[in-house]
Structure 1
């Protein structure tokens, strides 16, 4: 356990399943109080909230803020500050994906993807920074993607938003460099999340392939290790970046991608 994270308070967006849920629990395991946020069955979310709180002896809140709404996104942060006294760590993780040729891409999906994948990062960060600066400590970690650094066909809107997250990360890190606040991005390769599982099906339709062919010939083909990235591997980097050990790490996009972007 990183003792310097005990009794810190964190907000993790998009954390009712997948990467975000595992990140929220990893922070709780370090002694952080956590606000989780996302979509899903209310009873299942409450069961997860209660389980994490009891397992790690911390406070865990759920806030169902709609991150496609700027005011709701800001309220998510300010309500967490009021409840816990501070938001020391902000993990901007919420995201969505749609695989389609660009000339067939639904325009409403473009707007939704920009709102959730990119604009919500701006609104949450803007809301969290004043308190972090006043306390002289803050950790902002944005979940980007290997697609924040390289591109793939049929994913132009997703690639655009994730490139935007990486650029946003660098700029805010420069603005906050002397404030005690660090801002970094984690760029995962493929993790077997519910999002990726859905993406496999969409890609199969777009390319006329079976789902097994997509998994082996498209997805894992991109990763030289031929293995999915695990939640634990992402969590290890997250905890390091949030700790005092990561205090000099800011403005960077860290790949956890099995060698994908080294090619």
Structure 2
């Protein structure tokens, strides 16, 4: 198993991509802290992991709350003795053209993605430095590389995560901490499902057209990226044995974006 006895914390892991990664990490032998704003979702993910023989704990965490993040990381360390892998995955989306975008909606998206990632990073690095190494991971997006209309706060936040990832790679090197960012294409999670009718209304096209002509238009095969695709990459990055792979953005998008 590639992550045997590694201690991992994943934010936004009660559902969607975060949960898929949590379940895969557990199958690879990691002890997994499922952090989520919603306790019921976190508990459900933990129960699913435990039902298949894995080890997991639930952590209620609002990633925009400094004290909650610090306390959540501390609870993992107190329970299992350290932290080896941290993945800033929690995210939200908002669909609006820039000229109609409320400042409160702009701030909310950036707060969850960027400030939440910073707070987790700061708390996690303190533990990893003491432990003598670790893997700091971020959930970016193809939108870390290029823009789409109607998603300006999300695009801005995902671009910002590139900078944070690279800064951590530079600073963490002397402490044997690597830092990488996963950049998926569209994965058919509840977050994406919600966008389909929203974009259809804003663009004045059908939902099928949103899928075909917006979300999957530039893929090589007209396919959504899957949860398994992203989870496999997340394991690979967490398990990579050296700093030869650090400060990198890895795109998993069926060719939607090539770099």
Q: 2:194 corresponds to which residue?
A: 198
Residue of structure 2 in register with 1:34 after alignment: 32
Residues 45-194 of structure 1: pairs in structure 2 closer than 5 A: 45-58=42-55, 60-194=56-190
Q: Counterpart of 1:234?
A: 230
Aligned pair count reads 259
In structure 2, the partner of 1:217 is 213
Deviation at 1:61, TM superposition (A): 1.1
Q: 1:247: Cα distance to partner?
A: 4.3
Deviations 1:156-177 (A, max 9, x none): 1100000000111011101111
Does the Cα contact within 8 Å between 2:216 and 2:256 map onto a contact in 1? Answer: no
The alignment partner of 2:135 has SS state of: strand
Kindly provide the CA deviation profile for residues 183-209 of structure 1, in whole angstroms up to 9, marking residues without a partner as x: 000000011111110111211111011
Deviation at 1:256, TM superposition (A): 0.4
Is the CA contact 1:31–1:56 (under 8 Å) kept in the aligned structure 2? no
Q: Cα–Cα, structure 1 residues 53 and 247, in superposed 2: closer, same or farther, change >3 Å?
A: farther
Rounded Cα–Cα distance in structure 2 between residues aligned with 1:248 and 1:53? 34
Is this contact kept in 2: 1:91–1:141, CA < 8 A?
yes
C-alpha displacement at 1:258, in angstroms?
A: 1.3
2:37 and 2:61 in contact (8 A); partners too: no
Q: State TM-score, norm by structure 1.
A: 0.94
What value does the CA root-mean-square deviation take over the aligned residues?
A: 1.5
| Structure 1 ranges of 4+ moved more than 4 A | none
Residue segments in structure 2 that go unaligned for 5+ positions in a row: none
